[in-house]
A = this chain, B = another copy of it.
Amino acid sequence: MTAGRAREAARNSEAILAAAREVFLADARAPIAAVAERAGVGISALYRRYPGKEDLLRTLCHDGLRRFIAEAEQAAREPDDWAAFEMFLRGVVEADVHSLTVHLAGTFTPTAEMSADAMRASELGDALFQRARGRMRPGAVPADMTVLLDMCAAVRVLDAGRTTELRRRYVTLLLDGLRAPGDLPGPPPAEAEVNWRWRT
Contact = CB atoms under 8 A, between A and B. Distances in A.
Interface in A127-166: 147, 150-155, 157-159, 162, 165-166
Secondary structure dominating the interface of A = helix
B169 A173 contact: no
A147 B158 contact: no
A96 to B, nearest CB: 14
A4 interface: no
B153 A154 contact: yes
Interface string A162-192: 1001101110111111111010111111000
A180 B176 contact: yes
Interface of A: 29, 147, 150-155, 157-159, 162, 165-166, 168-170, 172-180, 182, 184-189, 193-194, 196
